[in-house]
């Protein structure tokens, strides 16, 4: 693994976050995540404070555009299916950066917090690799289609609060995958693309645990700050998501991911 196993956990997370080469980022993510899981890297209370958030390491392609400018393609064609695989691969690549920023940016958290988000980063790297391989089978590679930067924009907006980050990234933006992926799987199987559907089944199953990690650390952060979780979640949704939250919601998956019935009812109230 590049670097020493004695390296500070925050410095290692920063290296993963800054790496722009996709192949190197995936390998570095796996190595650092395993070192953190094995206890070979730990948080250092004397580490330099986190730098202000900026752009993460990413390749020059895909070209990032407004979500409104992304072409809409049906799944009945190979090009349409490749575009879908690329879109999900881009989400998973962003999720690697989001997980490492959660490790790097928020200090004074329990060791298990850092292990959780390192594991999430490792999972997201594996998901991206699966999708990139499928994209190659469809005659394309990551970067061939335009993409948007909505996930990282929310990271920037929540850079000063771990509670807000846990509420709005895993529990809102990433949880959207729990809602839409079952329908994507069904449509892919209907057009005979079982290979892509099987990958999405794996991702859906594992993303429940990622959203659950967000739920756990959101509740933990609220308890530490003496905040009511339900009222705080609703206030954050009203501030950041009103008019842009979409239903319907996958109630079963969200309950398994740590949402309460009251929270789900609140989502329905403000969903467009």
- The residue range of the domain holding 241 is 9-51+75-270
Global confidence as pTM: 0.94
Compute CA 26 distance to the chain's CA centroid, rounded to the nearest angstrom: 15
Residue 134 lies in a domain: yes
Residue entry with tokens 């994507």: 184
Query: Does a structural domain hold residue 178?
Result: yes
192, 188, 216: which is closest to 204 by C-alpha? 188
66 domain residue, yes or no: no
- 221 neighbors 116 (Cβ within 8 angstroms): no
Has residue 124 been placed in a domain? yes
Which residue ranges in the chain fall short of pLDDT 50?
Answer: 1-5
CA distance 142 to 230: 39
The enclosing domain of 149 has a CATH number of: 1.20.1260
pLDDT of 93 reads: 96
Domain membership flag for residue 60: no
In a domain, 46, yes or no: yes
Domain assignment present for residue 2? The answer is no
- Check if the beta carbon of residue 31 is closer than 8 Å to that of residue 2: yes
Listing DSSP states for 162-230 in one string gives: HHHHHHHIIIIIITHHHHHHHHHHHHHHHTT-HHHHHHHHHHHHHHHHHHHHHHHHHHHHHHHHT--HH
Q: What is the mean pLDDT of the chain?
A: 92
Domains in the chain, number: 1
Pull the structure tokens for residue 123.
């999972």
Does residue 121 sit within a domain?
yes
Please report the pLDDT score of residue 6 as a whole number.
66
């Amino acid at each position: 693994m590049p670097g020493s196993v004695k390296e500070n956990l925050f410095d290692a997370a920063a290296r993963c976050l800054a790496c722009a080469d996709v192949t190197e980022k995936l390998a570095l993510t796996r190595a650092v995540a395993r070192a953190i899981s094995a206890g070979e890297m730990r948080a250092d209370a004397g580490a330099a404070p986190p730098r202000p958030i900026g752009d993460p390491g990413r390749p020059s392609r895909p070209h990032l555009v407004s979500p409104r400018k992304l072409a809409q393609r049906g799944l009945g064609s190979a090009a349409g299916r490749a575009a879908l695989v690329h879109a999900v691969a881009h989400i998973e690549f962003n999720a690697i950066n989001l997980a490492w920023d959660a490790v790097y940016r928020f200090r004074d958290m329990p060791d298990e917090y850092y292990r959780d988000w390192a594991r999430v980063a490792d999972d997201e790297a594996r998901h991206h690799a699966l999708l990139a391989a499928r994209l190659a089978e469809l005659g394309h590679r990551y970067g061939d289609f335009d993409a948007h930067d909505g996930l990282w924009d929310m990271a920037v907006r929540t850079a000063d609060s771990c509670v807000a980050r846990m509420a709005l990234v895993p529990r809102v933006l990433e949880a959207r995958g729990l809602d839409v992926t079952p329908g994507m799987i069904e449509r892919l199987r209907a057009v005979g693309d079982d290979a892509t559907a099987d990958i999405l089944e794996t991702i859906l199953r594992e993303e429940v645990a990622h959203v659950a990690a967000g739920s756990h650390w959101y509740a933990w952060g609220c308890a530490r700050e003496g905040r009511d979780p339900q009222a705080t979640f609703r206030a954050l949704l009203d501030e950041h998501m009103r008019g842009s939250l979409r239903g319907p919601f996958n109630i079963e998956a969200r309950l398994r991911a740590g949402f309460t019935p009251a929270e789900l009812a609140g989502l329905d109230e403000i969903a467009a």
